Amino acid sequence: MLSRSELKSLQTHRDYPSVSILAPTHRTAPSNKQDPIKVKNLVRKAIARLHDEFIKREVAAVASNLQRLVRDVDWGRLLDGLALLASKERAAAVSLPFRVKPRAVIDETFATRDLAYAFNRAPPYRVLVLSHRSRLYDAWTTVLDEHTVRPFPMVHRGPGLSKRPGAYGINPSAKRDEANRAFFRSVDDAVAALQKVNPLPLVVVGVERNLAFFQEVTRQAGSIIGMKGRQSRPNLPERAGQAGVAGLRVRGDAPPDGGPRATRPGGQRPPPCLRDRPGLARGRCREVPDVAGREAVQVPGRR
């Protein structure tokens, strides 16, 4: 997942030779069966050009970085294009949501024009799934990459999930509610730590009850661009992507051609639709139909 700071770092990179491999790829089989072959052919050609210009040991680190990038590609999860960037000390692979012309470029800088275009056309965001096992994803278009490093996924082990009655004189419902608030507060703290390093728009998914608890305790209201009812895993990428794009557009973050544009989450006061459901009735939020028109996505809106 490419962040704004990573893109800027790649754009300012200066070191000769720096190799940029760009190749069209495919999202589904059987079209993607040829992707590894075509990408590896481009890499071989680039390495051959390096060996024509330099002594092999002088560019061994560059060639090694390129080959490692190819080995690490998950060919079943690519989008429409792939960029592999490598120098002696840098290596990066970025999947692109549009097709690119196949080419291998050797220069002092990386060929980042396509990366910048992709970043502006399909801004990254995060998806937080609230449940007893809360998960966090980095997202780009409809591709979700789950955080699997601690503390995520975060598991609720407190009394909020227990069905046992409380002790005499204790309101078990109130105790469960407070345990849920404490759990979702800890989830919010974990998200805040990541947002501090790399702030991104946030889509929150969960059942109404969990969304309500999260809204009470969250410090991320200024970053939330959409909230969705609980989704099954197969539908999660598509629905979260629709909510993310709809939220960016309603916030006025779409370029003139209508596509989403990358934004930096602000710290503005959360609109009523993120604090209570009646906000919709007061006209302070919009119901934005999803692409298929089957349901609406609740997002902050303007009067």
Percent of residues, the chain, with pLDDT higher than 70: 70
Cα–Cα distance for residue pair 22/102, rounded to 1 Å: 5
Angle between helices 208-217 and 172-197 (to 10 degrees): 60
Instruction: Assess whether pLDDT exceeds 90 at residue 286.
Output: no
Answer with the residue of higher pLDDT: 120 or 281: 120
Instruction: Assess whether pLDDT exceeds 80 at residue 236.
Output: no
- Average predicted confidence (pLDDT) for the chain: 78
- Using alpha carbons only, what angle is made at residue 53 by residues 47 and 54, rounded to the nearest 5 degrees? 85
Cα–Cα distance for residue pair 295/230, rounded to 1 Å: 13
Residue 182 has φ and ψ, to the nearest 5°, of: -65, -40
Phi-psi region of 86 (alpha: psi -120 to 50; beta: other; left: phi over 0): beta
| Average pLDDT, integer, range 120-149 | 84
Q: 123 pLDDT band (50/70/90 cuts)?
A: confident
DSSP-derived pairing of the beta strands 143-146 and 133-140: antiparallel
With CA atoms as reference, report the closest residue to 20 among 77, 102, 76. Answer: 102
Cα–Cα distance for residue pair 253/140, rounded to 1 Å: 16
> 81-90, 110-119, 237-246: lowest mean pLDDT where?
237-246
Q: 225 pLDDT band (50/70/90 cuts)?
A: confident
Q: What is the pLDDT of residues 18-63, one digit of tens each?
A: 999 999 999 889 999 999 999 999 999 999 999 999 999 999 999 9
Cα–Cα distance list, 173 to 162, 169, 180 (Å): 10, 12, 11
H or E segment to which residue 146 belongs: strand 143-146
Cα–Cα distance list, 122 to 13, 87, 93, 143, 256 (Å): 23, 26, 16, 11, 14
Q: What is the pLDDT of residues 264-285, one digit of tens each?
A: 333 333 433 443 333 333 333 3
